[in-house]
Amino acid sequence: MVEDARKQFGNKGESLAASFLKEKGMRILTHQYRSPVGEIDLICLDGEELVFVEVKTRSSQVYGFPEESITPKKIQHLLHVAQHYLQQTSVKQLSWRIDVIAISYSKELSPEIMHFPA
C-alpha cells in the first residue's frame, strides 16, 4: 500500500515535469524508459538535442532537497542508461545531455519546480 502511494507520488511528479518541459518547448519522446541497465524518467527533444531527464519529487525537506539525492553513483547510472538508449536507437548523431527536475510539493502547497540543465 505504501509502495503504491510512493509510485503514484513519483508518477505525479513525472507528469508535472513533462508538462513543465513541454511549456519550455521540449518534445517528450518517452516516459519511464526501461532497459536492462536501468530506467530514465523522461527522454525529450530540445531543438536538435536529446535530453535525458531524472525527476526527483519530495513532499517535505526532512531528507533534504530533491536535487540533493542525485549522487555521483546516480549520475553514473543515468549515463549507462542513456548510453544504452543511444545504442538501441537511431538517434546516435544527436548531441545529448542529462537534466534534473526537482519538484517540491504537498497537498497544501502548489508545486515548486526547479530545472537543472546539464
Q: How far apart are CA 77 and CA 64, in angstroms?
A: 21
Note the pLDDT tens digit of each residue in 97-117: 999 999 998 777 788 999 999
pLDDT tens digits along 34-48: 999 999 999 999 999
**More confident site: 108 or 81:** 81
Q: Where do the domains of the chain lie, and which CATH numbers do they carry?
A: 2-116 (3.40.1350.10)
pTM of the full structure: 0.88
